[in-house]
Chains A and B, each alone.
Chain A
Amino acid sequence: MRHIISLLMENEAGALSRVAGLFSARGYNIESLTVAPTEDATLSRMTIVTTGSEDIIEQITKQLNKLVDVVKVMDLTEGRHIERELMLVKVKAVGSGREEMKRTADIFRGRIIDVTDSTYTVELTGTGYKLDAFLEAIDPAFILETVRTGASGIGRGERSLKV
């Protein structure tokens, strides 16, 4: 099962490596990991997408909670939540392909944010599945470069992760 684990941790040097080290030392999967400071500069918010059985996910959240720098942990997938990922794709855009690419980007509500006479750079946000779908919708031969941030997530409604 895929889980999105959100956590708040002290924004200190080495904090990220404690989390990354925990995952590699215990053989847990990381599909993606994003981290940045919050409105409170002493805290970082991290979103980890991982997969594993219920037992493993239970261990992951317990082990994360055990890290001294970690303030709070929440498994977003336990409740209603919103997930978003940002992707930048540089594609070949020449001749008739140019119009086709623009149309596909529009369908996915992507925005073209950089243009040359032979390329577009498309910005897309959405769930990971949506970004995958876009990549599948265009001819792989046109893809010059993709950059994905990995998922960020937040609980719906009142549900929030705060100190």
Chain B
Amino acid sequence: MEATGAEIVVRCLAEEGVEFVFGYPGGAVLNIYDEIFKQNKFKHVLVRHEQAAVHAADAYARATGRVGVALVTSGPGATNAVTGIATAYMDSVPIVVVTGQVPTPAIGLDAFQEVDTVGITRPCVKHNFLVKDVKDLAVTMKKAFIIAATGRPGPVVVDVPKDVTAHRTEFEYPATVEMRSYNPVVKGHTGQLKRAVQMLLEAKRPMIYAGGGVVLGDASAQLGELTRKLGFPITNTLMGLGGYPATDKQNLGMPGMHGTYEANMAMQHCDVLLAVGARFDDRVIGNPAHFAREQRRIIHVDIDPSSISKRVRVDVPIVGDVRNVLTEMLALLKQAKEKPDATALNTWWTQIELWRSKDCLKYNRQSPIIKPQYVVEKLWDVTRGDAFVTSDVGQHQMWAAQYYRFDKPRRWINSGGLGTMGVGLPYAMGVQLAHPEAQVACVTGESSIQMNIQELSTCKQYRIPLKVVMLNNRYMGMVRQWQEFFYGSRYAESYMESLPDFVKLAESYGHVGMRIDKPEDVEAALKEAFSPALKERLVFMDFQTDQTENVFPMVEGGKGLSEMILAEEL
């Protein structure tokens, strides 16, 4: 059947079972928007800035495991989308971004709203396409969805010139497309798997280090079974939170720059490290030379070969889908005659409990000023640890990660790799639309929230009842903390002056605003916000928190994991 390029785009999205398209119209995509107007297969969500469209699509993907979709126009539409695309790229999130482009005869002539989208996005996409012929459009859309979702997932941009959306061709959506140049490895190497299992069974001081790959690869069940069967300690990275229940005793908390004392010490002093879907990045292991000082054998499971031996040499590399690999490992473990060394493990756990007894996340609970950690703890209580929590970037992000103990995967949505301030609100929109009945909290700061505050308007239009938990310390807190520690307390441009009245601001968008000044009011405010009475409403809570609170423990940039600064040491 014949169709125009615009119809093809829309029908491809419908064929892919897309629920939501987050977007913003403009000249180059008007043909596509006209087709969206005529269909009812998916819902279009009109954001207030293209960056937010991509973040919302990204969060939808993180919360559901399905491909998120955004649609923007050419030129500024595409450049505004770039931050969102780069954010998804750094965290390996499967999204497809359709960008409008000026008509093919105008490409390269500096036409109105022309930008080389494929060129600009090339370094921050898994792949991108410029579709110059309408005959290639359906196949390209199919390729985009396949590439985004398989292997190590990532964003794919499809740039569609306006004339292509008007041209007609025979339309048939291919069930699948073969690409000779794209064949991600799925199964782990059997020999390596055997070596890995043997190594785990011989370990005296084992440690499991699980990252975002476990969440993205839907391998939490397998990871949980393996960890419990082995009885080993485990740490979940910032991207991996919820991959293994945080409330379980075997979980030592998060590793890295703001990781727990016990997790970092165990990472540093283990003799066998099983890394699963994690990439030894600078915020996790600190200085690689310091990390390498201790002798340990490393098993590294990852879908992306280039993640292996990139920053740290490993002994047993296993390239494959983490769920497949963990399933195979479990099978081998069940066949094995040996058991983990119980005596050695006991000694190791005794050591770990000693580290744990430092209680590195303690803070002053008697403070007359609201402590940000307390707000997050109460949020956990009030939502019974079962909310979807998005965050922006900075201190509040670390506190949310440290004090909201995630027991399930895909509940914690944050920008770990790129560290994009401003993601929190659009992330919460994407999550709430994906899970309309769920409790969704956006833990943010007064600086981050202002980077996409315009989305309160989108929330009004679509009645998105998310809850904003703003930890307002009137500073770019993490910048202030670094300035205090490393720049002689010279707080250059990190004080947030001239803040709006957030209560009135929320109200002006038709939402509920609350300002909370005292610790004793924190719980009541959260209870009210999450009460059935406000179930249908967006509630914006402005918590006036301690201005000088810092995030601990902390491993200074360039230092080793065992060189943490703890709260009491200051």
- Interface set of A (CB-CB < 8 Å, partner B): 9-10, 13-14, 17-18, 21, 25, 55, 58-59, 62-63, 65-66, 68-71, 163
Q: How far is the CA of A36 from the CA of B451 in the complex (A)?
A: 46
Return the chain B residue nearest A163 by Cβ.
B180
Nearest CB of chain B from residue A13's CB, rounded to whole Å: 7
Inter-chain contact B306/A10, CB cutoff 8 Å: no
Return the chain B residue nearest A72 by Cβ.
B181
Inter-chain contact B127/A68, CB cutoff 8 Å: yes
Inter-chain contact B119/A66, CB cutoff 8 Å: no
Inter-chain contact B309/A55, CB cutoff 8 Å: yes
Inter-chain contact A14/B118, CB cutoff 8 Å: yes
The 4 closest A-B pairs by CB, nearest first: A62-B306, A68-B127, A71-B181, A62-B305
- The residue in B118, B147, B181 that gathers the most chain A C-beta atoms within 10 A of its C-beta is B181
Return the chain A residue nearest B151 by Cβ.
A66
Q: How far is the CA of A70 from the CA of B180 in the complex (A)?
A: 9
In the complex, chain B residues 161-191 whose Cβ is within 8 Å of any chain A Cβ? 179-182
In the complex, which of the residues A21, A62, A70 contacts B123, with contact meaning CB atoms closer than 8 Å?
Answer: A21
Q: How far is the CA of A17 from the CA of B310 in the complex (A)?
A: 23
Q: How far is the CA of A58 from the CA of B310 in the complex (A)?
A: 9
Inter-chain contact B179/A14, CB cutoff 8 Å: no
Q: How far is the CA of A26 from the CA of B439 in the complex (A)?
A: 41
CB-CB under 8 A for A68 and B181, given A14-B130, A18-B122: yes
Q: How far is the CA of A62 from the CA of B180 in the complex (A)?
A: 17
CB-CB under 8 A for A13 and B180, given A18-B122, A55-B309, A62-B306: no
Q: Is B377 an interface residue (CB 8 A)?
A: no
Inter-chain contact A68/B126, CB cutoff 8 Å: yes
- Interface set of B (CB-CB < 8 Å, partner A): 118-119, 122-123, 126-127, 130, 147, 179-182, 304-306, 309-310
In the complex, which of the residues A21, A65, A68 contacts B305, with contact meaning CB atoms closer than 8 Å?
Answer: A65
CB-CB under 8 A for A25 and B179, given A14-B130, A59-B306, A63-B306: no
Q: CB-CB < 8 A to B304: which residues of A?
A: 66
Nearest CB of chain B from residue A64's CB, rounded to whole Å: 9
Q: CB-CB < 8 A to A58: which residues of B?
A: 309
Q: CB-CB < 8 A to A62: which residues of B?
A: 305-306
Q: How far is the CA of A17 from the CA of B181 in the complex (A)?
A: 17
Q: CB-CB < 8 A to A69: which residues of B?
A: 127, 181
Q: How far is the CA of A137 from the CA of B309 in the complex (A)?
A: 44
Inter-chain contact B180/A71, CB cutoff 8 Å: yes
CB-CB under 8 A for A17 and B306, given A68-B127, A68-B181, A163-B180: no
Nearest CB of chain B from residue A142's CB, rounded to whole Å: 42
Nearest CB of chain B from residue A70's CB, rounded to whole Å: 6
Q: CB-CB < 8 A to A10: which residues of B?
A: 181
Nearest CB of chain A from residue B544's CB, rounded to whole Å: 43
CB-CB under 8 A for A21 and B122, given A55-B309, A58-B309, A62-B305: yes
Q: CB-CB < 8 A to A21: which residues of B?
A: 122-123
CB-CB under 8 A for A68 and B306, given A13-B130, A17-B119, A17-B122: no
Q: How far is the CA of A55 from the CA of B119 in the complex (A)?
A: 29
Q: CB-CB < 8 A to A17: which residues of B?
A: 119, 122
Return the chain B residue nearest A70 by Cβ.
B181
Q: How far is the CA of A47 from the CA of B306 in the complex (A)?
A: 21
Q: How far is the CA of A132 from the CA of B368 in the complex (A)?
A: 76
Q: How far is the CA of A34 from the CA of B322 in the complex (A)?
A: 38
Inter-chain contact A9/B181, CB cutoff 8 Å: yes
